[in-house]
Amino acid sequence: MRVLVAGGDGFCGWPTALHLSANGHEVAIVDNLARRAIDEELGTDSLTPIASLQARVERWRQLSGREIDLEQGDLGDPQLVHDLFTELRPEAVVHFAEQRSAPYSMIGRQHAVCTQVGNVVGTLNLLFAMHELAPSCHLVKLGTMGEYGTPNIDIEEGYIEIEHNGRSDVLPYPKQPGSFYHLSKVHDSHNIFFACRTWGLRATDLNQGIVYNVQTQQTRSDPTLLNRFDYDAVFGTAINRFCVQAAAGVPLTVYGEGGQTRGFIDLRDTVRCIELAIETPPPAGQMRVMNQFTEQWSVMQLAQIVYEVAQEMELSPSIENIDNPRVELEDHYYHAKCSKLIDLGLQPHLLGRETIASLLDEAVRHRDRARLQTVLPEANWRSVPYWGSEPAIARDAALQSAAARSNSPASM
């Protein structure tokens, strides 16, 4: 089918676009290159050298014989979104085009504002375009398990049956988001739920856990197709950060006592989940919610497995507990349901020593590119400043720089 991948240059978007293209879908990408611009703003970079989006797509065409159309632009521009739907008439939209970092949203007031305005407005523009131009289109929206927080009851998949004063109803599961980023995802979910009920749209909200692994079958097939490897304190996940620290010979930094437990998923399963969701759309008028993770780990458990595998590879790691910059429970109940994607046919890749060893190999291979000064946290949930750096200015300049370095993307 015709699939628009919004945010198709990003960590999840790029391998998803390739996976869908490899499996016969007609794929188009829209991206504003903001993730690359934020690297310039923060003084960091992917551990793996990544090619420009244009070079990536051209190399994929050469290797596979399949075209991926490109449009460089921002979902915050309503005319661009309207034009995309008018020209493409997508049957499905995979929506990754959001600022995805909780720490980034907690750097300062303007970072929080940029995150919420960009994320919420972009999603609203998609919903209005679907309503007017493609009412049967299926929106597959990447949410986050962070919307739920860490309640002292089991986390259901999106909805919960409530009994109150002798009456019962099935309602959206209560949300306890942990950052301004996670709050933007909650706002998205509410807007999508409303649009489906009111306009008869169809959507799948995929509440994704933390993604580990950085490559898929397609991204590994050629150096130009390599996916990004984030390891810094703002965009890097704990596993990536630990692997880079082990490769560099510095302590693995665990926030607090390390009892924070979350859901995790392999990147290879992420792209498969997107495919399964596209192939089995919900009925019109429904926002289906699926919890997209395959297993649960605590931060200290992850540090320990990286420590053990690094020792086997003759690295010399250590583990160090540091002050937790976040406001979160470190000792808590956590049990989330995740059966719907398994029922659709997902066969999970579970985290094992082989995957950790692969990430450590990648970290060792590229450790000369590591900027270790970016690994320790700077954003502190308890002291988010009103004034400070203005990311909108820095990002605008960086976006212009990124655009100047690349060829003009082909039009739809």
Residues 288-343: tens digit of each pLDDT: 999 999 999 999 999 999 999 999 999 999 999 999 999 999 999 999 999 999 99
Pairwise CA distance, residues 162 & 22, whole Å: 43
pLDDT tens per residue, range 258-294: 999 999 999 999 999 999 999 999 999 999 999 999 9
Domains identified in the chain, total number: 1
287 lies in a domain? yes
CATH code of the domain in which 89 resides: 3.40.50.720
Confidence of residue 400 (pLDDT cuts 50, 70, 90): low
Domain span at residue 317? 2-405
The span from the CA of 368 to the CA of 247, in Å, is 10
Residue 405, pLDDT score: 44
Residue 398: pLDDT over 70:
no
Task: Please indicate whether residue 307 is annotated as part of the active site.
Answer: no
Euclidean distance between CA atoms 94 and 277, whole angstroms: 10
At 17-68, the pLDDT tens digits run: 999 999 999 999 999 999 999 999 999 999 999 999 999 999 999 999 999 9
- Extract the runs of DSSP E, i.e. beta strands, from 73-122: 92-95
- For residue 410, the model assigns a pLDDT of 36
- Looking up tokens 């309640």 gives 151
Q: What is the pTM assigned to this prediction? A: 0.95
Helices (H), 265-298: 267-279
Q: What are phi and psi of 312, to 5 degrees?
A: -60, -25
Catalytic residue among 185, 231, 334, 374: 185
In tens, the pLDDT along 97-121 reads 999 999 999 999 999 999 999 999 9
Set 181, 212, 231, 334: catalytic member:
181
Active site residue 181: yes
Residue 412 lies in a domain: no
User: CA–CA separation, 236 vs 356, rounded Å?
Assistant: 15
Rounded CA-CA distance 269/59 in Å is 24
Percent share of the chain, pLDDT over 90: 93
Tens digit of each residue's pLDDT (9 = 90 or more) over 202-258: 999 999 999 999 999 999 999 999 999 999 999 999 999 999 999 999 999 999 999
Catalytic residue among 48, 144, 270, 355: 144
On whether residue 411 sits in a domain, the answer given is: no
Tell me if 207 sits within 8 A of 161, measured CB to CB. Answer: no
Residue 387 has a pLDDT of 86
Secondary structure of residue 141 in the 3-state scheme = strand
* Consecutive H or E run containing 254: strand 252-255
Percentage with pLDDT > 70 across the chain: 94
DSSP string, 107-120: S-HHHHHHHHHHHH
Q: Any catalytic annotation for residue 175?
A: no
Average of per-residue pLDDT across 142-160:
98
Band of the pLDDT at 389, cuts 50, 70, 90?
Answer: low
Q: What is the pLDDT of residue 391?
A: 52
What average pLDDT does the chain have?
A: 94
